[in-house]
Amino acid sequence: MIHCKYPGGFSFTLKRIFSPILKGILLAILVGLLFYSGELTQILSKRSDFLGKTIKEVKFKGNKNTPDADLESMIEIKVGKILTKRILDRDLKNLFNSGFFYFVDIQAEDFQDGVRIIFDLKERPRVREIEFVGADEVFPADLRDKLPLKDNEVITPQKITKSRDLILQKYRDEGFFLAYVKVELGKPDPKTNLVRVRFIIDEGEEIPVSKINVYGNESIETSEILSIMEMKEEGVFEGGNFKESSFEKDKDTIVAYLKSKGYLDAELIREGTNWEIHWENPEKKIEGSLS
């Protein structure tokens, strides 16, 4: 067998059951790792060699949508300053925290008895346009206004997730609890790095209100309370679809109504005030609930 050990402590063994070709491949990989380690060490040591030198020039590359002036306002590295590890670390952190870039590398080279700093950047794509597919029951404009994503703004995973959640919440407010949202990002334009964002929506079905129960109303009839509510039970002449926004509004309406009737201490008990959605799949004999 052949036993090899990598300088960092990594080791492996080539047993005789491996073919000569496989041994050759693994040895080539090992040599490549050693070479890469040496190159990386050389690059890092070169960068540290520039510490303490005067910054003579600052350049940016890879920024298609972020002007140099905006980048300069984010960093402490300036022409005439002494290059230190502190400002290198801080500028690296500032650029990442801006959310504009998914890759940042700070390079250095000798220049005019000092050092030239080069920021190698890879920008996150920006929004070219936002498209809603399948939004029939909710106006796209109502959805667009709620989103953290705007035209020409940077796209981040956090903004995508939040946008999807806000769209789903809007549909819940409108009574579409079964809505589903899928997000698709187009291919970035190689020149502008702009992409189309598509929200593909399956609105699902509205959920009818089969029964509204009121408890603890000893002096006021349930029918009287139901009459002031925005939400209604499903009937022949009324749709009676559940909307979470109506549910929240009705809670305030009921309390205000009871106080107007002289019950100044009236309140809804949080633990008992809720809603439940029950469903049944007739094909598979499955029942469930959501609350």
Output the DSSP codes for 227-260: HH-S-----SS---B--HHHHHHHHHHHHHHHHH
| 81 half-sphere exposure, CB direction, 13 A CA radius | 13
Which pLDDT band holds residue 288 (cuts at 50, 70, 90)? very low
pLDDT: is 48 or 91 the higher one?
Answer: 91
Task: Give the fold, CATH level 3, of 55-123.
Answer: Ubiquitin-like (UB roll) (3.10.20)
185 by DSSP, 3-state: which?
strand
Contact between residue 152 and residue 126 where contact means Cβ atoms under 8 Å apart: yes
Write down the pLDDT at residue 14: 32
Residue holding tokens 């520039």? Answer: 50
- Concatenated DSSP letters for 39-94? HHHHHHHHHHHTTTSBEEEEEEES-SSS-HHHHHHH----TTSBP-HHHHHHHHHH
Rounded to an integer, what distance in angstroms lies between the CA atom of residue 189 and that of residue 9? 44
Q: What is the mean pLDDT of residues 58-79?
A: 92
Do residues 229 and 212 touch, judged by C-beta distance below 8 A? yes
* Cβ-proximal residues to 5 (8 Å cutoff; 6+ apart), any chain: 11
| pLDDT of amino acid 278 | 61
**How confident is the model over 195-211, as a mean pLDDT?**
86
Among the ranges given (66-75, 103-112, 258-267, 272-281), the one the predictor scored with the smallest mean pLDDT: 272-281
**How far, in Å, CA of 245 to CA of 256, rounded?**
17
DSSP state of 112: T
- In which band, very low, low, confident or very high, does the pLDDT at 11 lie, cut at 50, 70 and 90? very low
pLDDT of residue 65: 87
Distance of CA 8 to the CA centre of its chain: 37
Mean pLDDT of the chain: 77
Asked whether the domain spanning 126-202 has the same topology as the one spanning 55-123, the reply is yes
Q: What's the rounded mean pLDDT across residues 54-78?
A: 92
Residues 208 and 234 sit within 8 Å (Cβ to Cβ): yes
Look up residue 9 and give its DSSP letter: S
For residues 143 and 286, the model is more confident at 143
* Tens digits of residue pLDDT in 78-121: 999 999 989 999 999 999 898 899 899 998 888 888 999 999 99
Report the pLDDT value the prediction gives residue 46, as an integer from 0 to 100: 59
Give the pLDDT confidence score for residue 118 in this predicted structure.
92
Cα separation of 143 and 167, whole Å? 6
pTM: 0.58
Most confident of 35-44, 178-187, 219-228: 178-187
Q: Which residues pair with 200 in a beta bridge?
A: 133, 182
Q: Which pLDDT score is estimated for 277?
A: 61
Work out the widest C-alpha separation in the chain, in whole angstroms.
Answer: 94
Predicted pLDDT of residue 33: 43
Q: What residue ranges do the domains of the chain occupy? A: 2-48, 55-123, 126-202, 222-290
Of 240 and 143, more confident: 143
Average pLDDT over residues 61-69: 91
CATH topology of domain 126-202: Ubiquitin-like (UB roll) (3.10.20)
How many CB atoms sit inside 10 A of residue 38's CB?
11
pLDDT band at 43 (very low <50, low <70, confident <90, very high): very low
